[in-house]
Structure 1
Amino acid sequence: MIQSIQKTDKEIEEGMKGKDFLTIGEFTTDEIHYLLNEAVELKKLQKQGVPHEALKGKILGMIFEKSSTRTRVSFEVAMLQLGGHALFLSSKDIQLGRGETIEDTAHVLAGYLDGVMIRTFGHETIERFAHASSVPVINGLTDTHHPAQILADLLTILEHKGYLNGLKAAYFGDGNNVAHSLIEGAAKVGMHFTIACPKGYEPDEAIITKAKEVGKTTGAIIQVTEDPIDAAKDADVLITDVWASMGQEEEQAEREGVFEPYQVNEELCINANKNYIFMHCLPAHRGEEVTEGIIDGSHSVVYQEAENRLHAQKALLKLLLKN
């Protein structure tokens, strides 16, 4: 299960110390494998009840402009299990919500905290914050990227398949933030990735182009298609997400009609490998992007995937915030 590392452990740890985590594409293949290896070990320790307080005394600030269940709980519990503390900071309760500049908030919080996790709308917001901050900044989600989720996804696939390089993953639905980070992550670890989406809902072309360039080195084949059956053919991993993301609720009815052919259902899954796994970052809308029989069936690993947010993020926090 453990992936091979080209650089030494010390070199990778030194390179990651104090680093921001804004997109998974900004991390090297070695760094991603190292994070996954570390997550496997931290999960093992947690299951065995062995204390692992690598961040004792450290404090993570968590700024939320978008509400969340998994992101808030997983990051907060991660810090507690690592011996540190987490502060929930709603944008409504801090001066950022009253017009203080992003840069001023970043400078001030860096004087109090050892790291900041932000869940916000525009990706430029977190980029500006990170540029002004002297402590590591972690992307808990933006409209363009969701890298913390994809670390958990890769960990889940690794646990079930034993390897990542050469596997085929297929994603069905909107070319959104989850899709963008999946594309970047798959390219980095050499996993073939096909996204099936209707015309007009494709992922960002610049992200696709860059991922294809990375794939030339790692062996990953990145494809975009309008044909869900072609995407599902011989896939080892099937993935979907809600059709209308947070902030797109008024488009719900329109999107239901557009995305109906991309529902992950029993008929579609026949085209995948017999031992495929189904993944969804949750929350899910049963009967829309996925049928109840698939998400609650024997191939589904969505709850393990959700739990792995905790373990993957513990690895991330440990390596970025550790002295």
Structure 2
Amino acid sequence: MRARHVLSLVDIDGDRVRRLVEAAVVFGRGGEVEKTLAGKIVGSFFRKTSTRTRTSFATGAMRLGASVLTFGPDDLQLSTGETLEDTGRVLANYLDALVIRTNDAVSEMRAIAAQNTMPVINAMSKEEHPTQALADLATIHEAFGQLEDVHVLYIGEGNNTAAALALALPRFPKTRLSIVTPPNYGLPAAVLQQAARYAEQSGAFLEHHHDLGKLPRHVDVVYTTRWLTMGVVHSDPNWMSAFRPYTVNQALMDRVSKPRGTIFLHDLPAMRGYEVENDVLDGPQSVAFRQAFHKMTAAMAVLDWSVNG
């Protein structure tokens, strides 16, 4: 049987995306959790620092009954020259799933996944953060009781989180996604093209531009992320001047929000005073820390499906 990898949302059909989001919402309701991973071993290989993603996958796996084995950036023989493919074949003898986070391309994960018996889960790559999008949608679903008819305004860098959101939300009918980024910092054309295909198939609405004068009004969700994705400094020394106008402050929230009910999301960690001001992140509209909780429920949904189907 082929392994159920979660490497990119492009690899997962819309019905499965919906089921994973709904499973995360159910896990978020609390109560006794069935130990569906009892006797299983989940590996966690993180090349870079992580607070939420590493902890959410470890605790999620343990809540489902699994044991967790962690590897740091220099713990595997990859650091001495073993190939990615050979590493995957070896680890597949021991592990029931492997969670990977890297600053490199998802092709690295695909090489490890080539053995195709041990599921490999993308816990963030340079191009995409698929499990973050599942957590985002679970948070929105929990807040509104559905995803259909929800309008999300994403403002800031067209990074891997934005890419995953664009590949996930338009799968749901009547959703609206407005992505507003600084010039030259938007989403890659290939991501936008794929997201547009999903929107056309489902009847969703998708727009991407750079004009702060054309922000939509009465949105349900305002979402931003850290400008320095994964701590990587932009090559343009003047990048900050391009980003500053895109700070989410209370004036912007008031401008785009509904009279009541609009929520604010941030995938964290936040650089307070840069992409978001304190009064928004800590304000009554913010559910960013509940969103962080749903990183664990999304991890649980993905692990349960990848290992058990």
TM-score bin, normalised by smaller chain: over 0.9
SS of the residue 1:195 aligns to = strand
Query: Residue 215 of structure 2 aligns to which amino acid in structure 1?
Result: A
Distance, in Å, in 2 between the alignment partners of 1:99 and 1:42 is 40
Query: Residue 101 of structure 1 aligns to which amino acid in structure 2?
Result: T
Structure-to-structure mapping, 1:98-117, within 5 angstroms: 98-117=80-99
User: Which residue pairs with 1:317 in the alignment?
Assistant: 303
User: Which residue pairs with 2:14 in the alignment?
Assistant: 29
Q: CA deviation at 1:249?
A: 2.9
In the alignment, structure 1 residue 245 sits paired with structure 2 residue 229: yes
Give CA deviations for 1:254-292 in whole Å, capped at 9, x if unaligned: 332110111111121122223211000000011100111
Structure-to-structure mapping, 1:23-172, within 5 angstroms: 23-44=8-29, 47-48=30-31, 50-120=32-102, 121-172=104-155
User: Which residue pairs with 1:282 in the alignment?
Assistant: 268
User: Which residue pairs with 2:291 in the alignment?
Assistant: 305
SS of the residue 1:273 aligns to = coil
Give CA deviations for 1:178-226 in whole Å, capped at 9, x if unaligned: 0100100111123211111121111010110111111111111111111
Which gives a bigger RCO, structure 1 or 2 (Cα 8 Å, sep 6+)?
2
Segment of structure 1 superposing worse, 109-118 or 130-139: 130-139
TM-score of the superposed pair, with normalisation by structure 2: 0.94
Segment of structure 1 superposing worse, 112-121 or 271-280: 271-280
C-alpha contact 1:187 1:214 (8 A) present in aligned 2: yes
Distance, in Å, in 2 between the alignment partners of 1:232 and 1:283 is 26
For structure 2, the 5+ residue unaligned runs are none
SS of the residue 2:108 aligns to = helix
For this pair of structures, how many residues does the alignment match?
305
C-alpha contact 1:244 1:252 (8 A) present in aligned 2: no
Q: CA deviation at 1:239?
A: 0.5
RMSD of Structure 2 on Structure 1 (CA): 1.7
User: Which residue pairs with 1:233 in the alignment?
Assistant: 217
Distance, in Å, in 1 between the alignment partners of 2:154 and 2:33 is 37
C-alpha contact 1:171 1:238 (8 A) present in aligned 2: yes
Query: Residue 26 of structure 1 aligns to which amino acid in structure 2?
Result: D
Q: CA deviation at 1:253?
A: 6.0
Instruction: Label 1:73 to 1:293 Cα distance change in 2 as closer, same or farther (>3 A).
Output: same
C-alpha contact 2:183 2:242 (8 A) present in aligned 1: no
Segment of structure 1 superposing worse, 294-303 or 161-170: 161-170
Segment of structure 1 superposing worse, 227-236 or 283-292: 227-236
Instruction: Label 1:254 to 1:248 Cα distance change in 2 as closer, same or farther (>3 A).
Output: farther
User: Which residue pairs with 1:10 in the alignment?
Assistant: none
Distance, in Å, in 1 between the alignment partners of 2:69 and 2:56 is 13
Structure 1 segments, 4+ long, off by >6 Å, are none
Distance, in Å, in 1 between the alignment partners of 2:45 and 2:263 is 33
In the alignment, structure 1 residue 193 sits paired with structure 2 residue 177: yes
Instruction: Label 1:56 to 1:276 Cα distance change in 2 as closer, same or farther (>3 A).
Output: same
SS of the residue 1:56 aligns to = coil
Distance, in Å, in 2 between the alignment partners of 1:106 and 1:18 is 12
Q: CA deviation at 1:252?
A: 8.8
User: Which residue pairs with 1:256 in the alignment?
Assistant: 240
User: Which residue pairs with 2:204 in the alignment?
Assistant: 220
C-alpha contact 1:240 1:264 (8 A) present in aligned 2: yes
Distance, in Å, in 1 between the alignment partners of 2:60 and 2:236 is 34
Segment of structure 1 superposing worse, 122-131 or 102-111: 122-131
Q: CA deviation at 1:41?
A: 2.5
Identity value in percent: 33
Distance, in Å, in 1 between the alignment partners of 2:159 and 2:216 is 19
1:272 to 250, 253, 257: 257
SS of the residue 1:238 aligns to = strand
Query: Residue 134 of structure 2 aligns to which amino acid in structure 1?
Result: L
Q: CA deviation at 1:56?
A: 0.4
SS of the residue 2:149 aligns to = coil
User: Which residue pairs with 2:5 in the alignment?
Assistant: 20
C-alpha contact 1:243 1:256 (8 A) present in aligned 2: no
Q: CA deviation at 1:55?
A: 0.6
C-alpha contact 2:24 2:135 (8 A) present in aligned 1: no
Distance, in Å, in 1 between the alignment partners of 2:266 and 2:70 is 26
